[in-house]
Amino acid sequence: MTTPTIERITPPRIRIFDTTLRDGEQSPGCSMSPQQKLVMARALDELGVDVIETGFPASSQSDREAMTMIGREVQRPVLAVLSRCLAADIETSVRSLDSAAHPRLHVFLSTSPLHREHKLRMTREQVLESVRKHVALARSYIDDVEFSAEDATRTELDYLIEVSRVAIAAGATTINLPDTVGFTTPEEIRAMFQQVIAGVADVSGAERVIFSAHCHNDLGLAVANSLAAIEGGARQVECTVNGIGERAGNCAVEEIAMALKVRQAFYDQDTAINTQRIVSTSQLLQRLVGMPVQRNKAIVGANAFAHESGIHQHGMLRHRGTYEIMRPEDVGWEDSQMVLGRHSGRAAVEARLRALGFWLEEEELKLVFEQFKSLCEQQRVVTDSDLQTLMQGGASTQGYRLASMTISDVGSRANALVELSDPDGNRVAETAQGDGPVDALFGALSSATGVSLQLDSYQVHSVGIGADARGEANLSVRSGDEVFEGTGTSRDIIEASALAWLDVANRLLRQREATAAPDTAAAAAHA
């Protein structure tokens, strides 16, 4: 028997349930391999989240593998997996949780009239019966069971109370009331939590149940709605790093954690988030999925603490509090960048990688350190940006790597020569001409890899300041229904563009490889 989450947290506080690896990973352009999920899970552990939802095991072999790998290594937080109200899904989920020290089974079923009629084709009574049966089945295997009433905010209130009563009586230890389509408002969701909590109060065991909010951001209200849910009595918030998730995303963990910290006097609630790890965790995810956040994104955007206007700068110089409600260092922004070089040892490289959000196993560190040493032969100093680029093509990913590139003018056109090492370590060289250097470069990369990319967007901007400034290129590509994003950083923007192109191409190739060996259970659609 495992100890349910609710008894493991003293004193009581807001539990942070992170679903970056499940709801976040379901969103376009954000899919992650099991190895990438493990890297992210280690960082979430360091960030201090209470629960990590690792995936939806019945939907893919990859999610089952990820759960097993994470369970073997990440022992502190509760590890949850999602499951439909189907016996086969629940049994697959239970098996995948074998390696977890603190497992949670998260079962869900839609409750709104729209979903009952058009998605499930079930009556009110059939939904109630399914909740009763499947929560009880889940509870017969695992002590920590969360039930989610999908589309709760568009469900009749009396019926939502009835469903919650049935789920609690069947053994649910957490009741999640999601705003699945991001439709609600702060006033409405606060009242909904108050009324549901009051409506189940006489059910045996209800006093130990944790109520949870899971808000989507379709109207840009996910964080505001989650805060209002807390005012209404929610004690768990479901969120994702950088707010990634279905459509417009989920409540962003960095925003809710900082809102509760900065406005502690108002909400009188804490979280266990180590806020100084926020920026590195955010940047790690941006690199892993190749999806940068916008510059003005709260807390983790490049401009979140930048003051440009003269009036603001003047105020800041007199007193930081004039225009700053939190200090950049409190969320992990650093004023100075540590520079590593030929004389740096393994411990220094490891410490820097950890500060950037990479927590490596002994063997992985050994490999990365060797790559670091060969980089030092080519350049005098290795910056954070170099380390991140190394990690992108290093320990956790394989694919085409850029060995060299030369761009020259041919009359009014440009010529590109690229040399790559392919996934088996062989050298491939190709040339192409184009209307400009980037056009020629992308043509040569396409011939060398055999991948043709239809670009949705291509952006280049500078990151860092002064001598440390780098060019960062971001590419977005559509292939069928999927969007692939890639990032590359270098002192030279043409090289940054080549790295971003290869980042996308490698993601696309990995995805093609994964779907070439389809999993039969994958036929089950994601929630």
Q: Please report, as ranges, the residues that interact with ligand KIV according to CB under 6 A.
A: 23, 108, 148, 150, 176, 178, 180, 214, 216, 527
Strand 482-490 and strand 470-479: pairing? antiparallel
Residue 363, judged by CB atoms within 10 A of its CB (0-12, 13-18, 19+), counts as: exposed
> CA 57, CA 71: separation in Å to the nearest integer?
13
Span 5-44, contacts to Zn ion by CB under 5 A: 23
Nearest position to Zn ion, beta carbon:
23
Beta carbons within 10 angstroms of residue 296's beta carbon = 10
In angstroms, give the least distance from the CB of 417 to Zn ion: 47
What's the min distance (Å) between Cβ of 22 and ligand KIV? 8
Distances (CA, A) of 450 to 160, 222, 470, 505: 53, 42, 29, 10
* Residue 53 binds to Zn ion (criterion: CB under 5 A): no
| CB contact at 8 A, 54 and 37 | yes
What is the smallest separation between the CB atom of 421 and ligand KIV, expressed in angstroms?
Answer: 41
What are residue 80's DSSP bridge partners? Answer: 53, 104
Helix axes 493-516, 384-393, angle to 10 degrees: 30
Decide whether 214 or 287 has the Cβ nearer to ligand KIV: 214
Name the strand (E) or helix (H) holding 434.
strand 427-434
Instruction: Provide, rounded to whole angstroms, the least separation between the CB of residue 401 and Zn ion.
Output: 36
The smaller minimum CB distance to ligand KIV, of residues 34 and 245, is found at 245
Choose the contact partner of 115 out of ligand KIV, Zn ion, none; CB within 5 to 8 A by kind. none
- Largest separation between any pair of C-alpha atoms in the chain: 83
Name which of 131 and 500 has its Cβ closer to ligand KIV: 131
Q: How far is the CB of 422 from ligand KIV (least distance, A)?
A: 39
Nearer to ligand KIV, 149 or 407 (CB): 149
Nearer to ligand KIV, 108 or 211 (CB): 108
End-to-end Cα, the chain, rounded Å: 29
Place of tokens 């040399």: 419
Q: At what angle do helices 87-96 and 124-141 cross, to 10 degrees?
A: 30
Cβ nearer to Zn ion, comparing 23 with 144 = 23
By CB under 5 A, how many residues form the interface with Zn ion?
Answer: 1
Q: Which is nearer to ligand KIV, 37 or 214 (CB)?
A: 214
Determine how β-strand 413-421 pairs with β-strand 427-434.
antiparallel
**Nearest to residue 49, comparing CAs of 274, 279, 331, 281?**
274
What does 283 bind: Zn ion, ligand KIV, none (CB cut-off 5 to 8 Å by kind)? none
Residue 164 binds which of Zn ion, ligand KIV, none (CB < 5-8 A, kind-dependent): none
User: Taking CB within 5 to 8 Å according to partner kind, which of ligand KIV, Zn ion, none is near residue 150?
Assistant: ligand KIV
The distance of closest approach from Cβ of residue 298 to Zn ion in the complex, given in angstroms and rounded to an integer, is 20
Of 15 and 214, which has the nearer Cβ to ligand KIV?
A: 214
Quote the least distance from Cβ 525 to Zn ion, whole Å: 14
Environment class of 307 (CB within 10 Å of its CB; exposed 0-12, middle 13-18, buried 19+): middle
List the binding residues.
23, 214, 216, 250
Specify binding-site residues for Mn(2+): 23, 214, 216, 250
11: cis peptide before it, omega within 30°?
Answer: yes
Residue 60 site contact among ligand KIV, Zn ion, none (CB < 5 to 8 Å, cut-off depends on kind): none
Asked whether position 150 contacts Zn ion by CB under 5 A, the answer is no
* Least distance between Zn ion and beta carbon 323 (Å): 35
**Residue number with CB closer to ligand KIV (23 or 384):** 23
**What is the nearest approach in angstroms of Zn ion to the Cβ of residue 180?**
6
386 binds Zn ion (CB under 5 A): no
CB 385 within 8 Å of CB 379: no
29: helix, strand or coil: coil
Q: What does 108 bind: ligand KIV, Zn ion, none (CB cut-off 5 to 8 Å by kind)? A: ligand KIV
User: Residue 489 binds what, of ligand KIV, Zn ion, none (CB under 5 to 8 Å, by partner type)?
Assistant: none
Q: Do residues 370 and 394 touch, judged by C-beta distance below 8 A?
A: no
Partner whose footprint covers residue 17, from Zn ion, ligand KIV, none (CB < 5 to 8 Å by kind): none
Helix (H) or strand (E) holding 512: helix 493-516
Binding site for Zn ion (CB under 5 A): 23
